[in-house]
Structure 1
Amino acid sequence: MAAQLSEIEVKGVKIPLIYEKSTLMPAVNLQIVFTHAGSITDEIPGLASLSARIFNEGTKTLGSVEFAKELENRAISLSVGSGNETLVFDMSALKSEYLEGLRLTRELLRQPNFTKEALSKVKTDIKASLLRKESDFDYVAQVELHRRLFEGTPLEYPSMGNRESIEKITLKEVEEFWKKRGVLRRAIVLVGGDVELEEVKKDLLSLLSVLPLGEEGELVRYEAKGDLEVKSVIKNTQQAYIYFGSPFSVKNLREDSYKAKVAAFVLGSSGFGSRMMEEIRVKRGLAYSAYWRISLSKSVNYSLGYLQTKLENEQQAIGVVRELIEEFLQKGITEKELEGAKQFLLGSEPLRNETLSQRLSSAFSAYYRGLPLDFAKEELHKIEALTLEEINAYIKEHQELLQLSFSVVTAPKE
């Protein structure tokens, strides 16, 4: 049974419900997704991420340890996470513990552990993690690249924030974050497993009734910048960590996404079969790996790539990346490359929808972006019918990819 779109009305608000029945296992998965509630809405960098972590500290009544015991004793998984655009409550339980899972989820929504003790613990954990990341030069280079691509927007900061911003966040700001974003008008529900749709709707009425109506919110779109420069961060390193990115224009997601997927596959996202790996590693021995992809979302579209190389090869590697992208935009791809991309994508995409969780996530992604729930299948048909002339015309339209920004973590020059 494929995922289907339904809805449930709570306090006069019609909440989208994506549901799929599956009896392969006697289990149920529930996800409550709050839109316009991720790091892209942060008034203070790291606020959404920190707030999600506090939810993982249990309820105000039970606290972290006792709440965790309640889950463990019933083999219930309940976690909260944040992305760029969303805040997600994810609960999985055996069918026999499904109602207990709903009860605990309801309690977490109703009275999260918003206490000074929980805030202090989470702050300490995040700051420790950020301190460790300061010596992760891949992370440092990527953060610097995003700062340049999205300067002046919430996206210029890592989703975790930084140690200074985390220190500033107060309990009141966490409470205000949840009050504004954890509302019915921003909720989308995903349910799958061994449970009937009408039963789900009845159960959700009780679960979601603890939430206020709130406001829908408006998702702001951001454009990546291209400054055509190489900027370096000097560290005590034996390798050069090179991250690069550029703007990417999307006119129509339904008509563009499958072409972008094929183009990215050929140039840099197919591992050893990609042009970047072939030219940078195999032919020139400049790096162990090289990668390039196109990121498409409701809030922002851009390209991102990376590689590591010896310090003495830094400038040559940067030059090769530029040459490859210039040639790609001028000449497009070959018939052989197109057929190789088709074979892989048509063969591997179905494997990404084998599990119930994967199918629900795929259906949600499509719905959230304004596409049909079965868009993944539609996309495969379009890839199969794609001609060389169509893909090369599409590639040549995207000259903005030449507006490359490079961020490099490297050693002091002798």
Structure 2
Amino acid sequence: MSLLRQAGLRVRAVARVNFVNLLAVFFLLNIVALSRPAQAMDIKTVKSASGIEAWLVEEHSVPLVALRFAFTGGSSQDPADKAGVSNFLSAMLDEGAGDLKSAEFQERMEDIAMRMSYEDSRDTFYGSVETLSANRPQAMELLKLALTKPRFDDDAIERIRGQLKASIVYASRDPDRVAGNAWYAAAFPNHPYGKPKDGTLETISSITRDDLEAYRSRIFARENLKVVAVGDIDADALAKLLDEVFGDLPQKAKLNSVSDVAPPKKGSLTVTEMDVPQSVAVFGLGGLKRKDPDFMSAFVLNHIIGGGGFASKLMEEVREKRGLAYSVYSYLSPMDHSAIFLGSVATKNEAIAESLDVIRAELKKMLETGPTEEDLKNAKDYLTGSYALRFDSNAKIASQLLGIMVEDMGIDYVNTRNAQIEAVTLEDIKQAAKRFLDLNDLIVTVVGKPAGLAPRG
């Protein structure tokens, strides 16, 4: 047999192994990992020798480990003149580390069927790793390199810069993205929350290797680290893993001070013209923070208003009864330094004004009279009954638990969450509504060619 043919067979064999491994990871990530309900999960606290803490859910029937971690930081820690550094970094951490250049690093991850990804929010920088148990040592070594010794090679930086700039150009033509950015700019002027989280063409163009390294070295530290592991790993192994992967990070982060802020107590309507057949409107108010005693009541109320899909009041009034829009929704977004109630609707230009009138009327109704007992019962039934679906795979469990850690809700929150919802009364909802549904403060940003709308405020 020729050497060329032997080499070809080896390449095909490796490709088949990698393909099978990737299929295995995909399958394992999506199977039901725990047959018991979420409330019955055994969540352990694990502490490493150096003091790094993590939560652990053991599940040894599936040879997979899902790791989720987060650092306090996010885009609010971007330098004032360089919005987008955090997002840029999130795209660079699997682009080579240690002695491995980008292509080599990616090939190594593929060889062991490892998944690694990063993303940032306004307050947090997130990391995610999934690996087959047999490949855990190699996967954790790659993770450690990515966090502690990223290369930031010039060619990789320029390639990612090009991708990020292309994404920004695309977003500038997307009415949803433009309306969302305009809303945050109106709600949080002169504050990090008001800047485009992904940066601008100008700021992305100016970001250097030193900027990426400066952000990484300031934010990646043990004191502001949260970790969750779910799957085929025990407490002793996790404790060792924590020190092996994260132990070389500095103890203390160097976070910039970010002031608490609230949207202005003055309503406004901003219109950005774009030559599109449909207008997009984003509407919102100040909300309630996650640990506010009225938050759970507001959470149930929002489900009734616009968070419950086709069962929500906004969907019923705007779409079902009047056929004004295909979709309308709302949600609560508590952040570290603020909290908001936000919603959106998209419809043809000539119908956007009426749609917003209907939305205002429904919000006013919720403020003045509140929902019915039937509305409340249906919301509770859905919110409590669907909660277990958030925990039907290792990856989902890890993500949910990390969210609970980041929001500092306590390790027992999984067991108490449904009881908190069941305890909400109509009076509780009315009290919560009075605290954030002040339509005089409603900030609305519209993108398109809306008929009958004039900017104000």
Same fold (TM over 0.5): yes
Shift of 1:274: 1.0
Deviation sequence 1:114-151 (CA, Å, 0-9, x none): 12222211111100111111221111111111111111
Specify the alignment match of 2:65 in structure 1: 28
Shift of 1:9: 4.0
Q: Cα gap change, 1:345/1:249 in structure 2, threshold over 3 Å: closer, same or farther?
A: closer
Specify the alignment match of 1:372 in structure 2: 410
Deviation sequence 1:203-260 (CA, Å, 0-9, x none): 322222322233363664332235312110111111111111111144x726333212
Specify the alignment match of 1:63 in structure 2: 101
Structure 1 unaligned runs (5+)? none
Specify the alignment match of 1:171 in structure 2: 209
Q: TM-score with structure 2 length normalisation?
A: 0.85
SS at match of 2:447: strand
Aligned alpha-carbon RMSD (Å): 2.0
Q: Cα gap change, 1:216/1:127 in structure 2, threshold over 3 Å: closer, same or farther?
A: closer
Letter in 1 for 2:76: I
What is the distance in 1 between the residues matched to 2:133 and 2:437?
53
What is the distance in 2 between the residues matched to 1:161 and 1:363?
29
Q: Does 1:407 align with 2:433?
A: no
Say which is worse superposed, 260-269 or 400-409, in terms of deviation: 400-409
Specify the alignment match of 1:298 in structure 2: 336
Specify the alignment match of 2:219 in structure 1: 181
Shift of 1:405: 0.8
Letter in 1 for 2:269: V
What is the distance in 1 between the residues matched to 2:45 and 2:254?
20
Say which is worse superposed, 225-234 or 91-100, in terms of deviation: 225-234
Structure 2 unaligned runs (5+)? 1-40, 453-457
Specify the alignment match of 1:76 in structure 2: 114
What is the distance in 1 between the residues matched to 2:102 and 2:378?
50
Cα contact 1:149–1:226 (8 A) shared by 2? no
Specify the alignment match of 2:389 in structure 1: 351
Letter in 2 for 1:397: R
Letter in 1 for 2:302: A
1:195-210 to 2 correspondences below 5 Å = 195-210=233-248
Cα contact 2:95–2:101 (8 A) shared by 1? yes
Q: Cα gap change, 1:41/1:289 in structure 2, threshold over 3 Å: closer, same or farther?
A: same
Shift of 1:310: 1.9
Shift of 1:413: 6.4
Cα contact 1:19–1:197 (8 A) shared by 2? yes
SS at match of 1:365: helix
Letter in 1 for 2:74: G
Specify the alignment match of 2:32 in structure 1: none
Cα contact 1:141–1:408 (8 A) shared by 2? yes
1:7-406 to 2 correspondences below 5 Å = 7-10=47-50, 14-35=51-72, 37-43=73-79, 44-215=82-253, 217=255, 220-250=259-289, 253=291, 255-400=293-438, 402-406=440-444
Deviation sequence 1:26-82 (CA, Å, 0-9, x none): 1112233222x2112111211100011111212152111111111111111122222
What is the distance in 1 between the residues matched to 2:440 and 2:234?
52
Deviation sequence 1:84-140 (CA, Å, 0-9, x none): 222223221111111111111122223202122222111111001111112211111
Cα contact 2:280–2:345 (8 A) shared by 1? yes
What is the distance in 2 between the residues matched to 1:81 and 1:290?
26
What is the distance in 1 between the residues matched to 2:288 and 2:451?
37
What is the distance in 2 between the residues matched to 1:410 and 1:294?
25
Cα contact 2:118–2:126 (8 A) shared by 1? yes
| Percent of pairs with identical residues | 26
SS at match of 1:184: coil
Q: Cα gap change, 1:350/1:384 in structure 2, threshold over 3 Å: closer, same or farther?
A: same
Letter in 1 for 2:314: M
Say which is worse superposed, 266-275 or 371-380, in terms of deviation: 371-380
SS at match of 1:185: coil
SS at match of 1:214: coil
What is the distance in 2 between the residues matched to 1:227 and 1:165?
30
Shift of 1:5: 2.2
Q: TM-score with structure 1 length normalisation?
A: 0.93
What is the distance in 2 between the residues matched to 1:402 and 1:173?
42
What is the distance in 2 between the residues matched to 1:280 and 1:22?
45
Deviation sequence 1:373-411 (CA, Å, 0-9, x none): 231331211222322233223323334454111111122
Cα contact 1:59–1:112 (8 A) shared by 2? yes
Letter in 2 for 1:72: E
Specify the alignment match of 1:2 in structure 2: 42
Cα contact 1:254–1:371 (8 A) shared by 2? no
Cα contact 2:96–2:152 (8 A) shared by 1? no
What is the distance in 2 between the residues matched to 1:379 and 1:27?
28
Cα contact 1:33–1:87 (8 A) shared by 2? yes
Letter in 2 for 1:30: L
Cα contact 1:141–1:242 (8 A) shared by 2? yes
Deviation sequence 1:314-340 (CA, Å, 0-9, x none): 222222222211111111110110111
